[in-house]
Amino acid sequence: MMKKYIYYLLAFICFGLLQSCDKAESEAILSPYTPASVDENAGNWKTFVLSSPTEVSINAPLATTDPAYLKEIDSLKNVVYPNLTNEQRQIVGYWGAGAVYRWNEIARELAARYNSAPAANAEGKYPVPDANNPLADPKFPFANPPYVSRALAYLSVAQFDALVSAWKYKYQYNRPAPSVVDKSVKVLLPISNLPSYPSEDAVVAQASYVILLAMFPGEGPFLKAKLEECKNARLWAGMNVSSDLNAGVSLGGAVAAKVMVKARADGMGAANNQAATADMITRSKSLGFKTVWASQESPARPPMLPTFGNVKTWNFDRATLEAIRPAIPYIEGSAEFNKDLEELQAIDKNQTREQAAIANFWADGPGTYTPPGHWHRYGANAGFEAKYSEVRMARMLAYLGTAEMDAGIACWETKFYYYSPRPQQYGLKTSVGLPNFPSYTSGHSTFSAAGAEVLSAFFPEKASTFNSYAQQASDSRVYGLIHWRIDCIMGLKHGKTIGQYAVKRAQQDGAL
Partner 1 sequence: MKHTFLCVFISLWSMNTIMAQMPHDQIYMNKNIACGALLYGNSSWTNYWENTLKRDNPNIGKLSTESLSAMIAYGITKKVNALVMVPYIKTQASQGNLMGQQGFQDLSLWIKTQVFNYKNLHGHATVGVSTPLKNYVTEFMPMSIGLGAKTLSGRAIVHYNLPSNLFVSATGSYIIRGPVNVDRDAFLHGERLINSNSVPVPNAMDAQLRIGYLKKENQFELFAEHFSCIGGDNIRRNSMPFLTNDMTMTAIGAYAKYQLKSLGISARVSYVVDGQNAGQSTNVTVGLLYLFKTK
Q: Figure out which of the listed residues 98, 129, 138, 141 binds partner 1, where binding follows CB under 8 A.
A: 138
The CB-of-470 to partner 1 minimum distance in angstroms stands at 16
Q: Figure out which of the listed residues 102, 108, 170, 175 binds partner 1, where binding follows CB under 8 A.
A: 108
Q: Figure out which of the listed residues 66, 297, 322, 336 binds partner 1, where binding follows CB under 8 A.
A: 297
Best CA proximity match to 156, nearest among 402, 429, 417: 402
* Residue whose CB is less far from partner 1, 108 or 234: 108
**CA distances for 434 relative to 438, 466, 476, angstroms:** 10, 26, 13
Where in 438-497 is the site for partner 1 (CB under 8 A)?
A: 481
* Residue whose CB is less far from partner 1, 361 or 508: 361
How many CB atoms within 10 Å of residue 140? 20
Where does this chain touch partner 1 (CB under 8 A) — which range of 19-27, 165-173, 232-240, 272-280?
19-27
Question: In this structure, are residues 428 and 355 in contact, taking their beta carbons and an 8 Å threshold?
Answer: no
24 part of the interface to partner 1, by CB under 8 A? yes
Indicate the SS3 state at residue 13: helix
Backbone angles phi, psi at 79, to 5 degrees: -115, -55
Q: Which residues contact 285 (CB under 8 A, 6 or more apart)?
A: 292
Buried b (16+ CB within 10 A) or exposed e, 442-464: bbbbbbbbbbbbbbbbbbeebee
The CB-of-400 to partner 1 minimum distance in angstroms stands at 18
The CB-of-297 to partner 1 minimum distance in angstroms stands at 6
Where in 41-70 is the site for partner 1 (CB under 8 A)?
A: none
Q: Cα(274)–Cα(272) distance, rounded to whole angstroms? A: 6
361 part of the interface to partner 1, by CB under 8 A? yes
16 part of the interface to partner 1, by CB under 8 A? yes
Q: Tell me, by CB under 8 A, how many residues bind partner 1.
A: 54
299 part of the interface to partner 1, by CB under 8 A? yes
Q: Figure out which of the listed residues 2, 275, 278, 335 binds partner 1, where binding follows CB under 8 A.
A: 2
429 part of the interface to partner 1, by CB under 8 A? yes
Where does this chain touch partner 1 (CB under 8 A) — which range of 53-61, 71-79, 360-368, 502-510?
360-368
30 part of the interface to partner 1, by CB under 8 A? no
User: Binding mask 375-404 vs partner 1 (x if CB under 8 A, - otherwise)?
Assistant: --x---------------------------
431 part of the interface to partner 1, by CB under 8 A? yes
296 part of the interface to partner 1, by CB under 8 A? yes
The CB-of-351 to partner 1 minimum distance in angstroms stands at 7
367 part of the interface to partner 1, by CB under 8 A? yes
How many CB atoms within 10 Å of residue 269? 11
Angle between the N-to-C axes of helices 463-479 and 370-385, in degrees from 0 to 180, rounded to the nearest 10:
160
Best CA proximity match to 313, nearest among 411, 427, 188, 205: 411
Best CA proximity match to 164, nearest among 503, 509, 406: 509
Q: Cα(257)–Cα(228) distance, rounded to whole angstroms? A: 19
Longest dimension (CA), the chain: 85
Where does this chain touch partner 1 (CB under 8 A) — which range of 151-159, 263-271, 322-330, 355-363?
355-363
Q: Cα(63)–Cα(33) distance, rounded to whole angstroms? A: 29
Q: Figure out which of the listed residues 65, 83, 87, 119 binds partner 1, where binding follows CB under 8 A.
A: 119
The CB-of-42 to partner 1 minimum distance in angstroms stands at 28
Q: Cα(96)–Cα(82) distance, rounded to whole angstroms? A: 20
* Residue whose CB is less far from partner 1, 84 or 428: 428
DSSP element (H, E) containing 167: helix 145-173
198 part of the interface to partner 1, by CB under 8 A? no
* Residue whose CB is less far from partner 1, 209 or 369: 369
27 part of the interface to partner 1, by CB under 8 A? yes
The CB-of-129 to partner 1 minimum distance in angstroms stands at 12
DSSP element (H, E) containing 432: none
The CB-of-348 to partner 1 minimum distance in angstroms stands at 7
Q: What is the total residue count of the chain?
A: 512
Backbone angles phi, psi at 220, to 5 degrees: -50, -55
4 part of the interface to partner 1, by CB under 8 A? no
Question: In this structure, are residues 382 and 418 in contact, taking their beta carbons and an 8 Å threshold?
Answer: no
**CA distances for 221 relative to 209, 214, 444, angstroms:** 11, 13, 33
How many CB atoms within 10 Å of residue 387? 14
Binding site for partner 1 (CB under 8 A): 2-3, 6, 9-10, 13-14, 16-17, 20-21, 23-25, 27, 105, 108-109, 112-113, 116-119, 137-139, 296-299, 348, 351, 353, 356-358, 360-361, 363, 366-369, 377, 424, 428-434, 481
